[in-house]
Structure 1
């Protein structure tokens, strides 16, 4: 677990400036807007545009599945026969009036095939909605961690400037005493200016990282600080979804939908059957009679062969995607677990390196002020300390990335439980 460092300490003329790595902003910031915690942002996932879009797509698919259950509408027809002819059929006096109702019957499993296909599409849309939700959570985790890392790097740059200025003052004192050449003082001042430029650069990176976090999280006001650390959180593989990862379930649902569409296209090649019931009124005798009939289409010219071939091709494509997804997910899961374990080890090693670099720099300061080591050795120890602290931040970013990859495979938010 990462241990935040303390504030600068001064003892016996030695000063080791240490800023808390977990501190999100410089101490001279008087009023800052703090971002909600990562857990609070995850709780608001449903309000983000990508999640809203995925929910709307699922709602549309669910509505189509409900609509697929509807029976086809009947049609009504009105006709008059034996009118405007010759002889007794001149005009409409002896015309026969027929009123009939036609109802498509949807035989041969046409309706059930349509319903099952729509349900499969809705199921696939539901799984894609869940997948999008965890993708958005992963994007939030990465943006949050990058903003926190940028703030820490800014603090480290400020700390490096403080240490460099402190060393430069020590060199200047030795130059005045004649213990160091004037060139050393010029070099020390050059290092101060370089550290100041690095501080300005990290400030710009920090501000842009917080701007991205404010935009992606849809925050009402821009933020400049992190309320709760995400870089210091650890996560262990839960094993959730190891046998049935979310990405594989999505691919399987898409294959099921494609298979159902094959059935739909095959049913479309069968004849359409309609039943008709009508009543005819004979004007001449004022009698009435009922008519009953069936209408059957003949699949002579259009047998939907192209549609069937297209559906089978889409099914084969879905099968190939499923096979590829299974292989890819298996490899990605092993890689994510290995990367997460390695990043945990890397983080522990980086923290140990920071402690060792701090002690080395402290001893170098003592030796430099006592005249036992050179400015170059002190500069090397300071550079090693700064590099070690930056390496600790890099290790935590790598751990967050590994956790994001693993969480998406397991179907959960990073650093959270599956749902």
Structure 2
């Protein structure tokens, strides 16, 4: 079996969502650990299929005694092979537990993958949103610098008082500060994304668009969480059967050969043994196994309620985010861009004051920021819905 170790291949400079998901699958220590748990469960299942080993016994009697038994003349040597018979179903019970443990481990691997995929998708969306906010901050800073330049010209020709130029310069300084903050936020989001799959160096850029959210899977009959709870219940039931099998009495039989030194003859010997259930009938373990079944049944009920609630909440959040995105894309953004264009023309023509142009610019920036936040919420809700419906 190949070693289950994370990949250490470098990340691509321009990371896509598909590349991020692939890197997470290949590099995540959580995935490696979950795969190792599956391999361990497979090994235990193989081991459960083996029958008990036979026992070889050697007995030497009547040697180094007194009288007629002195020395080795009357020694008797018996060599026998003993085998415990599995009449109580211990082996089949062990195998049932092994199969149930393997099913639980495989489902936990699927859940680990689904959880990691959700985290990667949401953090990738966060990085894309940070990149888009950086773009808006850069555009706003460029507009503010141009506006300050125009205001200085208008002051020089006497069309604006000096206070207007100071106001425009202050706005440009604020826009420059916001740009530096957006740059730091964007770099931090890429580092956080890379940390999800254990990479020391973040990708140079993120390639993606929040306007294309992931398509969630159709609603399943049972989500991964419910399937895991059902598998854990099956494991508890198998464990009860194993404890019941441990209570049953399995005899041991033996067959051997005895050599009598004094006569120089050999003879077959046979044996039979049976444990006596006087003190230990495994009642404590049986009681514990039955309690674990009740706990597993309660956990499955809770998982079903939690899964349906999780799906309903994610669906509602996605619907609300879709409505916000549509309203902003069709109304606020086009209107804000047209308002800013007209305000710039009017200001350059001397028809409006600087404060009105700044208000139009701020209104567009606010609408664009809200659109980014709405698209981010849309992507996060879609990732959550994909996790909730994962199978």
Global fold match (TM > 0.5): yes
Q: Name the residue aligned to 2:301.
A: 323
Give the counterpart of 1:271 among 225, 249, 256: 249
Give the counterpart of 2:173 among 167, 189, 193: 193
Contact kept? 2:15, 2:203, Cα under 8 Å: no
Which piece of structure 1 moves more, 34-43 or 183-192? 34-43
**How far has the Cα of 1:186 moved from its partner?**
1.8
Taking a change above 3 Å as real, the CA distance of residues 345 and 121 of structure 1, as seen in their structure-2 partners, is same
**How far has the Cα of 1:217 moved from its partner?**
4.2
Give the match's secondary structure for 2:72. Answer: coil
Give the counterpart of 1:356 among 335, 354, 360: 335
Give the match's secondary structure for 2:49. Answer: coil
Q: Name the residue aligned to 1:381.
A: 360
Partners in 2 of 1:238 and 1:223 — Cα distance? Answer: 29
Q: Name the residue aligned to 2:30.
A: 50
1:37 aligns with 2:16: yes
**How far has the Cα of 1:190 moved from its partner?**
1.6
**Greater fraction of residues in helix:** 2
Contact kept? 1:354, 1:388, Cα under 8 Å: yes
Partners in 1 of 2:142 and 2:163 — Cα distance? Answer: 21
Contact kept? 1:144, 1:230, Cα under 8 Å: no
**How far has the Cα of 1:218 moved from its partner?**
5.3
Partners in 2 of 1:101 and 1:371 — Cα distance? Answer: 110
Q: How does 1:337-356 map to 2 (within 5 A)?
A: 337-352=315-330, 353-356=332-335
Partners in 1 of 2:386 and 2:267 — Cα distance? Answer: 72
Partners in 2 of 1:333 and 1:312 — Cα distance? Answer: 32
CA deviations over 1:111-159 (Å, ceiling 9, x no partner): 1111101100101111111121122222221222222221111111111
Give the match's secondary structure for 1:178. Answer: coil
RMSD: 2.0
Contact kept? 1:38, 1:230, Cα under 8 Å: no
What is the TM-score of this pair, normalised by structure 2? 0.91
Q: Name the residue aligned to 2:351.
A: 372
Give the counterpart of 1:71 among 34, 51, 55: 51
Q: Name the residue aligned to 2:143.
A: 163
**How far has the Cα of 1:34 moved from its partner?**
3.1
1:313 aligns with 2:291: yes
Q: How does 1:8-407 map to 2 (within 5 A)?
A: 34-48=13-27, 49-217=29-197, 222-227=202-207, 229-241=208-220, 243-352=221-330, 353-407=332-386
Count how many residue pairs are aligned between Structure 1 and Structure 2: 379
Partners in 2 of 1:401 and 1:254 — Cα distance? Answer: 30
Partners in 2 of 1:176 and 1:230 — Cα distance? Answer: 44
**How far has the Cα of 1:310 moved from its partner?**
2.0
Which piece of structure 1 moves more, 347-356 or 54-63? 347-356
Partners in 2 of 1:407 and 1:267 — Cα distance? Answer: 42
**How far has the Cα of 1:306 moved from its partner?**
2.2
**How far has the Cα of 1:80 moved from its partner?**
0.6
What is the TM-score of this pair, normalised by structure 1? 0.85
Partners in 1 of 2:184 and 2:72 — Cα distance? Answer: 90
Contact kept? 1:103, 1:275, Cα under 8 Å: yes
Give the match's secondary structure for 2:218. Answer: coil
Partners in 2 of 1:278 and 1:357 — Cα distance? Answer: 98
Which piece of structure 1 moves more, 349-358 or 34-43? 34-43
Partners in 2 of 1:262 and 1:384 — Cα distance? Answer: 67
Partners in 1 of 2:295 and 2:252 — Cα distance? Answer: 36
Partners in 1 of 2:132 and 2:35 — Cα distance? Answer: 36
Structure 1 gaps, min length 5? 1-32, 413-419
